[in-house]
Amino acid sequence: MSGVRIVTDSACDLSPELAGRHRISVVPLTIRFGDEELVDRQDLSPAEFWRRCRSATQLPTTAAPSPGAFAAAFEAAAEDADGVLCLTISSLLSATYQSALAAAEHPLGVPVQVLDTRTVTVGQALLALSAADAADEGRSLPEIVARLEDEMARTEVIGVVDTLDHLQRGGRIGGARALLGSMLSIKPVIAVREGVVAQESRQRTRARSLQYLADKVRAAGPLVRLAVADGNAPDIGVLLSMLEPVQVEHEMVVVDLGPVVGSHAGPGTVGVCYQRPSAGPGATSLRP
């Protein structure tokens, strides 16, 4: 037995290299281009996804992993663990959480817990990395869950999309619906709040939207963790330069925004997740 193993789904956008380095198992969602089904990060890399999007005649769609796919991942993880923790994309954005719960009902000889992160992409990624760090420290399953429940309240995901068209047509627009009336004259800034996409800000230009993201992150610092997701954005370097001065405890993570979120957000999307420090006395903390 070697402690707790972490499982998540590919909506987290962790690269295979980063997930492997932290011993995080990633269960892939499926992407559909018309009648063609492709397994995220196996049949379809982020680069290939964005290339195909440029010539696609209709928006791609996504499908949650089957309970069987999660069951196989749990079984493999349980072979050298005394507990398995699965972190999923928000249950309000995908049926992935329900699939994982169904898989967890089958006994494996070790406890399996499924946690709805109520977020997506780099928000989900940072929580998975934190869980993996806690597992490496030898923390128990209940201790890791307690850490994550505290961190979820301190983890913010905001982003810039070139248009709300993808979110609207994909039915994922949530609380950002109020932006639709003026979407032709703005560059929307959105956030993931309580598990759904919500309005964050209206900015008149792309440059001002990126500046808004950077200002929001800098105002929240110093930070515990910081991550950026690049959705085939030609100006991603501009944002990264703006974020360089931010003080962060862990190294900043930069990932490619993958097909799961990219199908709904569209090309040119930039996502940022930042995790604020614990509030102080009485807050849950597992760090020495």
**Separation between Cα atoms, residue 260 and residue 264, nearest integer Å:** 7
Averaged pLDDT for residues 51-65:
89
**Separation between Cα atoms, residue 121 and residue 157, nearest integer Å:** 9
- Concatenating the DSSP letter of every residue in 1-70 gives --SEEEEEEGGG---HHHHHHTTEEEE--EEEETTEEEEBTTTB-HHHHHHHHHH-SS--EEEPPPHHHH
Averaged pLDDT for residues 246-273:
95
**Separation between Cα atoms, residue 282 and residue 288, nearest integer Å:** 15
Looking at residue 256, what is its pLDDT? 97
Judged against a pLDDT cut of 70, whether residue 131 lies above it is answered with yes
Judged against a pLDDT cut of 90, whether residue 224 lies above it is answered with yes
Averaged pLDDT for residues 245-263:
96
Query: Please, which pLDDT band fits residue 53 given cuts at 50, 70 and 90?
Result: confident
Looking at residue 182, what is its pLDDT? 47
Judged against a pLDDT cut of 70, whether residue 287 lies above it is answered with no
More confident residue, 58 or 212: 212
Query: Please, which pLDDT band fits residue 188 given cuts at 50, 70 and 90?
Result: confident
Looking at residue 281, its amino acid is P
199: which strand partners?
190
Looking at residue 284, what is its pLDDT? 41
Looking at residue 165, what is its pLDDT? 60
Least confident range from 60-74, 181-195, 239-253: namely: 181-195
Query: Please, which pLDDT band fits residue 271 given cuts at 50, 70 and 90?
Result: very high
Question: What percentage of the chain has pLDDT greater than the value 70?
Answer: 89
Tens of pLDDT, residue by residue over 206-220, are 999 999 999 999 999
**Separation between Cα atoms, residue 132 and residue 65, nearest integer Å:** 22
Judged against a pLDDT cut of 70, whether residue 147 lies above it is answered with yes
**Separation between Cα atoms, residue 140 and residue 3, nearest integer Å:** 7
Q: How many residues does the chain have?
A: 288
Query: Please, which pLDDT band fits residue 285 given cuts at 50, 70 and 90?
Result: very low
In the chain, where do the E strands start and end?
4-9, 24-27, 30-33, 36-39, 61-63, 83-88, 112-116, 155-160, 187-193, 196-203, 225-231, 253-256, 269-275
Looking at residue 157, what is its pLDDT? 98
Looking at residue 57, what is its pLDDT? 80
Question: What percentage of the chain has pLDDT greater than the value 90?
Answer: 78
More confident residue, 31 or 167: 31
62: which strand partners?
31
| DSSP-derived secondary structure letter, 278 | P
Q: Please, which residues have CB within 8 angstroms of residue 282's CB and are 6 or more apart in sequence?
A: none
Q: What mean pLDDT is reported for the chain?
A: 90
